[in-house]
Amino acid sequence: MAVAHKPLILAPIGFTVGFAATAMSEFIQPTAPAAVQESVRMLAEQPPVRVVGPPLVLNIKPNER
């Protein structure tokens, strides 16, 4: 094997090993307990937050006040 062909061989091998590791981690995922899943609230279920104060106004022209 010539030195020039090593990247062409090592890159697909590295990609294959990384893809296999990703696939295995997807199959072996820990499941959360039922108590944790019940305590999780969706963002849409939460009441809206009250905003106090004016909105952020950027100072585009600092010489004009």
Residues 9 and 1 sit within 8 Å (Cβ to Cβ): yes
pLDDT at 12: 92
pLDDT at 18: 95
Is the per-residue pLDDT at 31 higher than 70?
no
Q: How far is it, in rounded angstroms, from Cα 17 to Cα 20?
A: 5
Q: Which two structure tokens, joined as six digits, stand for 45?
A: 């279920």
**pTM: predicted TM-score of the whole model, two decimal places:** 0.42
Q: Which two structure tokens, joined as six digits, stand for 51?
A: 């905003």
The 10s digit of each residue's pLDDT in 45-65 is: 777 778 788 877 787 887 876
Q: How far is it, in rounded angstroms, from Cα 42 to Cα 9?
A: 47
